[in-house]
């Protein structure tokens, strides 16, 4: 049986090498689990410390997905098998180590290119968001759909969604709306648009780049290579829903309170299919998730990236201890009845006290390693 992450090194110019890491779970669309994290994180650290490695590439197996998100089925099983007061130690290990990996990518000292082709959702976007060179293609399909499973847009989503233009990130967090590679460029979460068919050619040409011992110079050299590929991919770039709906998004999210914004989005009465899907998803989604999205947006203002990840860790573990996350996964992925029974069932019944419970650290001493 092959390892869940495959590693190889490619000889390159000037005696340098390129490190390649491939998420290797094609059947599950490369869903990120703890064994993957425990292979990927130490290898990235070794490559960071190796003076012979000039650049690192992270990709997913197959053509369908870079990474379709975290392995929420395993989180669900851990909740069911280890019920009790938080923190759930199995889920603590997953979230803490996942967020530490994401944080390390944000702070990686060398050029790190993520090939974000195909499906990129949830935890996949967490791996991609902090990379120095984020490549998207005409097949990129991106979303943070946690509203449908009673979690929240984590993996640093509280950080990077807030930095999107206007209130775009708030809209995406509340509705789980699907966007494409062009949208990622617009939102500042993608850097280069390349044809999906050019992947192997691009990877081979990495060997001929004039690499040096200077990380900044190597980053510029990688950018120059990618710019050449981007130049011949423009005819495949899809229209951007974020650009097309920019005015509508701002109008729908202009309210001063969550209830105003929720009512505006779910009350959309137009005939645009993308906005109709977004409205329907929020209407059917977890009211607690919507409240957490709003609360996190307010609370992370002024926090450092490491502080955001630590706060998200608390909220993630509290989601595991509250009803909606397990119920959402059950309804969508386990029983597949698509009929979750949310607690509370409506936004009007979500109290400030209920939201505040999700921000109480479920431990007496800090056990989180994110940013350490």
Identify the DSSP state of 125.
H
Enzyme catalytic residues: 70, 123, 146, 154
CA 152 from centre of chain: 11
119, HSE (Cβ side, Cα atoms, 13 Å): 20
Question: Which of the two residues, 304 and 85, has the higher pLDDT score?
Answer: 304
| Domain extents in the chain | 5-357
281-286 average pLDDT score:
98
Q: What is the pLDDT of residue 86?
A: 87
Q: What is the pLDDT of residue 85?
A: 84
Question: 119, 113, 102: which is closest to 26 by C-alpha?
Answer: 119
Largest CA distance in the chain: 63
Q: What is the pLDDT of residue 358?
A: 98
Q: What is the pLDDT of residue 365?
A: 56
Q: Residues of the chain with pLDDT > 90: what percent?
A: 95
Q: What is the pLDDT of residue 84?
A: 81
Rounded distance, CA 118 to CA 29, Å? 9
What 3-state DSSP class applies to 341?
coil
| Residues 136, 144 contacting (CB under 8 angstroms) | no
Rounded distance, CA 261 to CA 254, Å? 7
Q: What is the pLDDT of residue 138?
A: 98
Identify the DSSP state of 331.
I
pLDDT of residue 13 exceeding 70, the answer is yes
Q: What pTM was computed for the model?
A: 0.96
Q: What is the pLDDT of residues 28-50, one digit of tens each?
A: 999 999 999 999 999 999 999 99
pLDDT class for 363, splitting at 50, 70, 90? confident
Lowest pLDDT segment from 81-90, 129-138, 318-327, 354-363: 81-90
Consecutive H or E run containing 39:
helix 34-49
pLDDT class for 339, splitting at 50, 70, 90? very high
345-357 average pLDDT score:
98
Consecutive H or E run containing 295:
helix 287-299
For the domain spanning 5-357, the CATH number is 3.90.226.10
Q: Residues 73-79: contacts with CB within 8 Å, 24+ apart?
A: 73/329, 73/333, 73/334, 74/33, 74/34, 75/320, 75/325, 75/329, 76/325, 76/326, 76/329, 76/330, 76/333, 76/334, 78/320, 79/320, 79/325, 79/326
pLDDT of residue 281 exceeding 80, the answer is yes
Q: What is the pLDDT of residues 199-247, one digit of tens each?
A: 999 999 999 999 999 999 999 999 999 999 999 999 999 999 999 999 9
Q: What is the pLDDT of residue 322?
A: 96
Dihedrals phi, psi of 21, to nearest 5 degrees: -120, 130
In whole numbers, what is the pLDDT of the chain averaged over residues? Answer: 96
Q: What is the pLDDT of residue 350?
A: 98
pLDDT of residue 371 exceeding 80, the answer is no
pLDDT class for 364, splitting at 50, 70, 90? low
**Considering Cα of 33, then 226, then 168, then 162, what sign does the dihedral take?**
positive
Q: What is the pLDDT of residue 367?
A: 52
**If you search the block for the tokens 């292979």, which residue do you land on?**
39
């Amino acid at each position: 049986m092959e390892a869940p992450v495959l590693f190889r090194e490619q000889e390159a110019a000037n005696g340098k090498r390129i490190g390649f890491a491939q998420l290797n779970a094609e059947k599950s669309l490369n869903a990120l689990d703890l064994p993957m994290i425990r292979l990927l994180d130490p290898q990235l650290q070794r490559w960071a410390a190796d003076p012979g490695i000039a650049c690192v590439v992270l990709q997913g197996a197959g053509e369908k997905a870079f990474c379709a998100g975290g392995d929420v089925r395993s989180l669900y099983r851990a909740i069911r098998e280890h019920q009790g007061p938080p923190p759930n130690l199995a889920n603590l290990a997953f979230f803490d180590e996942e967020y530490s990996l994401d944080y390390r990518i944000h702070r990686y000292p060398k050029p790190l290119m993520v090939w974000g082709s195909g499906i990129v959702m949830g935890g996949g976007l967490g791996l991609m968001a902090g990379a120095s060179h984020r490549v998207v293609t005409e097949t990129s399909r991106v979303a943070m759909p946690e509203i449908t499973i009673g979690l929240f847009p984590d993996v640093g989503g509280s950080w990077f969604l807030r930095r999107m233009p206007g209130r775009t990130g708030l809209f995406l967090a509340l509705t789980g709306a699907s966007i494409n590679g062009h949208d990622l460029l617009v939102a500042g979460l993608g850097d280069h648009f390349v044809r999906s068919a050019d992947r192997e050619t691009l990877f081979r040409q990495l060997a001929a780049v004039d690499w040096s011992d200077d990380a900044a110079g190597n980053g510029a050299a990688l950018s120059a290579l990618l710019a050449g590929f981007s130049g011949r991919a423009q005819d495949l770039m899809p229209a951007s829903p974020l650009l097309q709906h920019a005015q509508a998004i701002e109008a729908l999210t202009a309210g001063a309170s969550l209830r105003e914004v929720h009512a505006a989005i779910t009350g959309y009465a137009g005939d645009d299919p993308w906005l109709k899907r977004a409205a329907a998803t929020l209407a059917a989604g977890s009211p607690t998730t919507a409240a957490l999205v709003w609360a996190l947006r307010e609370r992370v203002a002024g926090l450092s990236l490491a502080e955001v990840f630590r706060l998200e860790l608390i909220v993630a573990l509290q989601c595991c201890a509250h009803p909606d996350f397990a119920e959402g996964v059950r309804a969508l992925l386990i029983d597949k009845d698509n009929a979750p029974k949310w607690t509370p069932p409506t936004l009007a019944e979500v109290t400030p006290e209920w939201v505040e419970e999700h921000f109480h650290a479920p431990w007496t001493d800090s056990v989180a390693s994110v940013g350490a």
